Chain A
């Protein structure tokens, strides 16, 4: 029995839904120490905490690869489905169709999305399925020990000295061209930018595709690789300084007029893009594609929000499904009455 009064415990840090940062964590990562994917998991935890996302509303979906394992390492209280190689997009599509109240958070690798899964990748983009789609892009296949992936740059070298002689697929350019409505590239080492872009993605109402360069420290972090930490750091050219202002925080970001663009997001939050380069309009597909082509030719790695469209209807809008989750509609709404069956049979008599 304590005879002396204990000092009051320091109030726990909680977010607007009353959860602590620890509530957004997952199991301990089994990925290599220093792997870019771990840094991305941390940003996801931070973004969900800051936004006050309720974990039960999130479904984590992934394919196969080191990257696709990572959903086990964040948001422990969310449902998760680690599916088959390259097929996360279809599983995510089915999940969203079944329950439109769910926030689908897809995590994939560059091998998973740009090689085996490119078919599903492009079709998800076309449909503008409401979801966040993260490619943890290390230019190689981590889990199968370092082979080139289809996002490896021309001339990039493997540890073994093999040089990549095929041009890379730019997943951002593809996503923009095909109809995704929030397309960005970031770097696992750029905490601030990645966090802001993730937060924007989480409140977006169509496909938010983030290609996050995420060095594989074990197989692709050497001299001669264009996806190594040092190479990406040296060649990273952020398009703008991105800040995310959630709707529930009354913050005004002051920038000199003409130096920044503000984008209103559907829930009332805002993205503020402080220009670092020439005038860039993230509402123009043509500009986005030109930027990507030109910077690629120059050997720059441009990061930032390339394209956003908050107007285009998403896949659920197009399908005109009811507002409630299809998964849990009661029998009375999914089994037509006997009279319907009789009517069909009569028409065939």
Chain B
């Protein structure tokens, strides 16, 4: 019985007076459009520069201005970067949500707030720090119009003083943020300083949270997943990007535009070695990418769930006519517009089999910005090697939040264009059959339009065709072609990135997850071990089709928890379709789908609940 394999330990109970160092979460509650981004980014940077592992989650509404928004920063000496469920340090700037925000805190938390909100009366078990924001900002910023812009910097100063953030790091963070705009940097610095001085003079530390310098961030930098994907695409040699704006993927295409303008303009002619086109919709975006991929360009599009739905017919065409394209899907909550600014892993099942008829697609699933980069590069090689659409499955959490990153590794292999026949090849060969499996791996040879050779041309289509690319409705031809496509898919299975597997000795249970869920799992594994002596193996799936290692992992465990951020246990279902019948019953689900990035505690609790039932 599973229950005998662990015992519930007393939770780590520390005396309330003891200091908690480098292990806290800060939440800034503001109003969308109130200009808190600089203050929040600088706060994050200051902690990062102090060598403390940090992560940030921007929880924002689908709105340009006026609705509540929360920015959470986690500092963790253990290096945990998943969202932390509990808030330790609240900065309450939004009058509308302040009461609710305060009431939801755990005892012992701290609240920095605008004096006027009069929050201290709400509870007696928190540390309250009232700050007179308006007089403070008036004193340092004579121009009333600018006050709104710098007002938020005051809380950076207050929080710095209260937590022990080195104020010099705030100044450096501001300089980074404003680069050449020295005036703006100075004004903001004065505001931060005013907050700091105020806290020093007028506030008495009454909570237990502190930060101290560490040395954990050597060589690291902060980047969001969308920028990392864009960099991956650029170093992957992308030449054409066609896209249509949609949160949370727009910033991928937009940062690509920035990078390409900087690094991909031909120095001699000042002309672009790329084309980026904002299309009229996602149908056109993917259609252009397909036209370009067919004609030999490394082509991509970036979108989110609703866009993927529009692309469905075209993706089937690309699968069947065998055109390489890369589709970055930055998943968000659906169905329909759902929660467009919240995160989910809701497209994994749909994309795996997107379109009509028998289709299945290659997917790469990054968990980190490092993988956004490396898989961004690799996706283009894979698309061309397998002559098929490749999805890179990111999500809003990964795409739009800042993450600490280890240095990205410059691609070590040259660009691989796959099986493309040149004029010389065609001269040498007796003939060319576009859809013939010459090598037995299911991957046929292709030619690019514009190849100057009488044998080069072929006519491709979504309708039935034989191996010579001739229209055919013969049953044998159709079956032969579909079987070859299936063979190609099997070839890909062995070629795609392998799962990352962490063995735990004699563990009965395994956890299987993918994408951003990873960060909650690493923490949950520690919680299970530390708090409940429950060891679990871990398999992080990085690609579809699943490689053999995934099935071996499932086979080796008695129960396997598939943790994912959707309601319908999408990957669980995909696994069920493929695992041995004997293993189907081992699969369980831990599901998280409220729009917030999954946290470790929720995973741990769910696994424990299910284990007790076993």
Using a CB–CB distance below 8 Å, which chain A residues touch chain B? Answer: 27, 54-57, 59-61, 71-72, 76-84, 87, 89-99, 101-102, 119-120, 123, 319-323, 325-329, 331, 333-336, 338, 340-341, 344-346, 348-349
**Cα A158 to Cα B281 with chains together (Å):** 34
User: Does B78 count as interface, using CB distance less than 8 angstroms?
Assistant: no
Most buried by A among B292, B415, B458, B462: B292
Known: A120-B283, A341-B235. A80 touches B288 (CB 8 A): no
Q: Chain B residues near A93 (CB, 8 Å)?
A: 242, 277, 284, 287-288, 291
Contact of A81 among B237, B262, B452, B460 (CB under 8 A): B460
Contact assessment for A56 and B461 in the assembled complex, using a CB-CB cutoff below 8 Å: no
**Cα A349 to Cα B48 with chains together (Å):** 9
- Closest chain-A Cβ to B500's Cβ sits at a distance in Å of 23
Contact assessment for B295 and A102 in the assembled complex, using a CB-CB cutoff below 8 Å: yes
Closest to B280 in A: A123
Q: Which 5 A-B pairs have the closest CB atoms?
A: A94-B291, A90-B287, A327-B296, A98-B295, A98-B297
Closest to A344 in B: B231
Contact assessment for A98 and B239 in the assembled complex, using a CB-CB cutoff below 8 Å: yes
Known: A322-B266, A323-B271, A326-B274. A98 touches B292 (CB 8 A): yes
What are the interface flags for B450-472 relative to A under an 8 Å C-beta threshold, 1 for contact and 0 otherwise? Answer: 11111011111111000000110
User: Does B551 count as interface, using CB distance less than 8 angstroms?
Assistant: no
**Cα A331 to Cα B92 with chains together (Å):** 52
**Cα A291 to Cα B452 with chains together (Å):** 43
Q: Chain B residues near A341 (CB, 8 Å)?
A: 231, 235, 408, 410
Known: A335-B235, A348-B223. A326 touches B297 (CB 8 A): yes
Contact of B448 among A96, A119, A327 (CB under 8 A): A327
Contact assessment for B450 and A101 in the assembled complex, using a CB-CB cutoff below 8 Å: yes
Q: Chain A residues near B457 (CB, 8 Å)?
A: 55-56, 76-80
* 12 further interface pairs, Cβ-Cβ under 8 Å (given A119-B283, A119-B284, A334-B239): A77-B454, A79-B460, A82-B463, A83-B461, A84-B314, A98-B296, A99-B448, A99-B449, A102-B450, A323-B271, A326-B274, A335-B235
Contact assessment for B271 and A59 in the assembled complex, using a CB-CB cutoff below 8 Å: no
- Closest chain-B Cβ to A75's Cβ sits at a distance in Å of 8
| B: contact size bracket | 35 or more
Most buried by B among A60, A83, A98: A98
**Cα A98 to Cα B297 with chains together (Å):** 5
Known: A56-B457, A91-B290, A120-B287. A83 touches B317 (CB 8 A): yes
CB-CB contacts below 8 Å: B301-339 with A: 313-314, 317, 321
**Cα A340 to Cα B289 with chains together (Å):** 26
Contact of A90 among B237, B266, B288, B405 (CB under 8 A): B288
Known: A81-B291, A81-B460, A81-B461. A99 touches B450 (CB 8 A): yes
Q: Chain A residues near B451 (CB, 8 Å)?
A: 56
**Cα A340 to Cα B285 with chains together (Å):** 28
**Cα A344 to Cα B286 with chains together (Å):** 29
Q: Chain A residues near B286 (CB, 8 Å)?
A: 90
Q: What are 15 residue pairs bridging A and B, where the CB atoms are less than 8 Å apart in the complex?
A: A79-B450, A83-B291, A90-B284, A93-B291, A98-B296, A99-B450, A328-B448, A333-B273, A334-B238, A334-B415, A335-B411, A336-B264, A338-B410, A341-B235, A344-B231
Known: A77-B454, A87-B287, A120-B284. A98 touches B240 (CB 8 A): yes
Contact assessment for A95 and B292 in the assembled complex, using a CB-CB cutoff below 8 Å: yes
- Closest chain-A Cβ to B369's Cβ sits at a distance in Å of 10
**Cα A170 to Cα B222 with chains together (Å):** 54
**Cα A120 to Cα B286 with chains together (Å):** 12
- Closest chain-B Cβ to A295's Cβ sits at a distance in Å of 30
**Cα A305 to Cα B43 with chains together (Å):** 65
Q: Chain B residues near A60 (CB, 8 Å)?
A: 459
User: Does B53 count as interface, using CB distance less than 8 angstroms?
Assistant: no
Contact assessment for A99 and B240 in the assembled complex, using a CB-CB cutoff below 8 Å: no
User: Does B2 count as interface, using CB distance less than 8 angstroms?
Assistant: no
Closest to B321 in A: A81
- Closest chain-A Cβ to B601's Cβ sits at a distance in Å of 30
User: Does B269 count as interface, using CB distance less than 8 angstroms?
Assistant: yes
